[in-house]
Structure 1
Amino acid sequence: MPVSGCKTEVRLGQRFAFGRNWQEFGQLIDEERIRGAQKSLEQALKTTDLTGRTFLDVGCGSGLFSLAALRLGARVRSFDYDPDSVSTAQKVRDEFAPGSEWTITCASILDPEFVGQLGQFDIVYSWGVLHHTGALWKAMEAACGLVAPSGTLYVSIYNDQGLESRMWKAVKRTYNESGPAMRRLLVAGSTLYLRRHYPLGMMVKVAQQGPKGMRASVPRARGMSRRHDLIDWVGGYPFEVAAPEEVFRFCRDRAFELRHLKTCRGGIGCNEFVFERT
C-alpha cells in the first residue's frame, strides 16, 4: 500500500486525518506526559527496564510511546502510515531524544514488502492502531510475524459492542465525508452522548463549550489528552472492532500466550492485550 495514498484517502473522506490530530497533541508533550506513558508501559510489560531489547512501534502517532520505550532503555524503531504523524514523531525525537538511534519511517503495516524487510523484534507495540487500517486481521497477522521467539506482542483493539459499534462506524464515516459545520455538530452530539450520565449542569457546560472546553493541558492516563482523544474517537475511520475472545483465539492459534489483559468492561474503548510468543 503506497504511503502517498494516505493524503488522498483523507481528502476523499475515506480516512480520518489522524496525523493532524497528533500534530496538535504533540505540542502538549512534556515530561509529565512522558512519565505517564512510561508508567503504562511498565505496568503492562511488568518491567521498568527494557535495556538491550528491540521495540517496534507500529503506528507511532505522536511518538510518545516510542519515546517512553527509549527512556526505558529499548532500541526503538517506529513507523506510521500518516506523514503528519511521522513528522510529529520526528519533532518529538529531536526535542526530547536528540542524537538517539530511534528511527522513524513513513510506511504501512499492510505493505508486505516493507514488513518483510523489518526482521523481528523483542517487543511489537501497536496501541489503538490496527483497527484503523481497514484490514484489522491482516494487520494483526503482519504484527504477529514481527515478534521474535519469546518476544512480546502488545496491542489494543476497539471492543465490539454490536449495534452500538455499528452506530459509531456510521458516525465516523459521516464525520469524514462532511464539512466543518457537520463535524462540529457530530463532535458536540457525541460528547453529550458519551457524557449522558453526567449531571445536567455538566452536560449543559459541555454543550456550550464543545471539545475545546475540555482541558487538553491535563494529562489523562497514559499521558494522553481528553480533547484529542475525543476528536480521534468521533472521527477515527476506518473503524473495526473485535471481542476479546476473538483476539485471544487469533493469537493463540499463532503460538502466543496471554500475559496481560485489561478490558474496557464491555463498554466503549480498547481492550489491551500483552502476549508472549512461545
Structure 2
Amino acid sequence: MHTDMPGHQTGDITGRVADPRDRFAFGDNWLDFVELVDERRVAQAEASLTGALGLTDLRRRTFLDIGCGSGLFSLAASRLGARVHSFDYDPSSVAACARLRDTFAPGADWTVEQGSILDGDYTRGLGVFDIVYSWGVLHHTGAMWQAIEAASALAAPGGSLFISIYNDQGPASRLWWRVKRRYVHSGPLTRRALVAAGSVYFGARGTTAAVVKVMSGDTPGRARPRGMSARHDLVDWIGGFPFEVASPEAVFSFLYERGFTLRHLKTCRGALGCNEYVLTAPRG
C-alpha cells in the first residue's frame, strides 16, 4: 500500500500543535450546543447521513464517529439502527456526546469514550466498521493527512468512509489560519471581538443588533443544514485551530491511491467551507 503523505496544500498551514494554547476548546462549544438539540435537529442529521450514504437505514451496520463533538450524528446513526462507537480527543466533547446519548437514547448499543485518531495504539484496538464518519474533524488534529490515513484504515472491506475537509482557498486559507491562531492565543474580549467581526463578515444581517446578539450568546438557535446551530458554527469557525485545508483533488488522489472509490462528493464550489466525501473501502 502507498504510504507517502502529500505536502500541505497552502504553504505555511501545518496545524501542528507545539504549544498547548494552539488548540480551540471545541468541547466547550459542543457542551453548550447540546442544550439546543431536539427532535427536529436529530431528524435533519438523520437525513444528512442517509442522503450522503445512499441508505434508508443503518440496521445491522456498525458506525464509528471520529471526533464525535456534540454526538448529534452518533445519535442520528443510533436512531437509524446502527451499533455506534463514538470517540473524541476533547473530554468536554466526550461529556457532551454522553449527555446526548443518555438523554435521547438510553440503553442504546452506543459506546462513548475519549481517544485520539492520531494514537495508533488506541485505533488499532478499535477494529473495523461498516461506516467510518468524521465530518469537519480531521483537519483540526494538527496532522490532517496522518489522521485521514488512520481513519481510512478503520473502514471494513467494502465499507464506507464519510469525511469532510476544509476547502483549500490558497491565500485566503492562510489568512484564516492567522485569525484562528490569534483567537486561541487571545483573552475573552478579543475572542468576542473576532466572533463579532466574523458575524459581520459572513453577513449575519450586517446590523449592530445582530453583532450584539452574537457577542451576548443570544443569537437565535435556529437549525442549519445537518441540524447544526448558526451561532455555534460561527464560534467553531472563528476559533477552530489547528486548521488545515485540502483541495478535492488532493483528498481524492490520496484515498484513490489507497484503493478507495468515490461514491458521493459535495463541494463548496471553491468557496469557504467543507468539501464532503463518501468513499468505498477496497474489498481486499
TM-score when scaled to structure 1? 0.92
Is residue 219 of structure 2 the alignment partner of residue 214 of structure 1? yes
Instruction: Find the counterpart in structure 2 of residue 94 from structure 1.
Output: 102
Residue 193 of structure 2 corresponds to residue 185 of structure 1 = yes
Which residue does the alignment assign to 1:165? Answer: 173
Separation of aligned partners in 1, 2:125 and 2:212:
50
Moved beyond 6 Å, runs of 4+ = none
> What residue number does 1:123 align with?
131
Relative to structure 1, the CA distance from residue 90 to residue 213 in structure 2 (aligned partners, 3 Å threshold; closer, same or farther) is closer
Deviations 1:151-177 (A, max 9, x none): 000000000101111111100000000
Greater RCO (CA < 8 Å, at least 6 residues apart): 2
Deviation at 1:12, TM superposition (A): 4.2
Question: Is this contact kept in 2: 1:130–1:140, CA < 8 A?
Answer: yes
* Contact 1:259-1:276 within 8 A present in 2 as well: yes
1:142 aligns with 2:146: no
- Distance in 1, Cα, partners of 2:231 & 2:251: 29
Which structure 2 segments of 5+ residues have no match? Answer: 1-16
- SS for the counterpart of 1:241 is coil
- Structure 2 counterpart SS, 1:202: coil
Partner of residue 5, structure 2: none
Correspondent of 1:39 among 36, 47, 55: 47
2:278 to 255, 259, 274: 274
Unpaired runs of 5+ residues, structure 1, are 1-8
RMSD: 1.6
SS at match of 1:161: coil
Instruction: Say which SS state the counterpart of residue 210 (structure 1) adopts.
Output: helix
1:13 to 21, 28, 53: 21
Q: Is the 8 A contact 2:261 2:280 kept in 1?
A: yes
2:253 to 242, 249, 252: 249
- 2: CA distance, partners of 1:58 / 1:156: 12
Work out the CA distance in 2 between the residues paired with 1:101 and 1:74.
Answer: 8
Counterpart CA distance in 2 for 1:46 and 1:183 is 40
Maintained 8 Å contact 1:125/1:155: yes
CA contact (8 A) 2:214 2:231 kept: no
Percent of counterpart pairs with the same letter? 57
Deviations 1:209-240 (A, max 9, x none): 33535311x11110000000000000000000
Tell me which of 75, 84, 90 is aligned to 1:76: 84
In the other structure, the counterpart of 1:265 is 269
TM-score by length of 2: 0.90
Q: Does 1:113 align with 2:114?
A: no
The answer to whether 1:203 aligns with 2:207 is: yes
Instruction: Answer whether contact 1:206 1:213 (CA < 8 A) is retained.
Output: no
Paired position in structure 1 for 2:232 = 228
On the 8 A contact 2:131/2:155 being kept in 1, the answer is: yes
* 2:87 alignment partner AA: F
Measure the CA separation in 2 of the matches of 1:120 and 1:87: 24
Matched residue type, 1:227 = R
The residue that corresponds to 1:5 in the other structure is: none
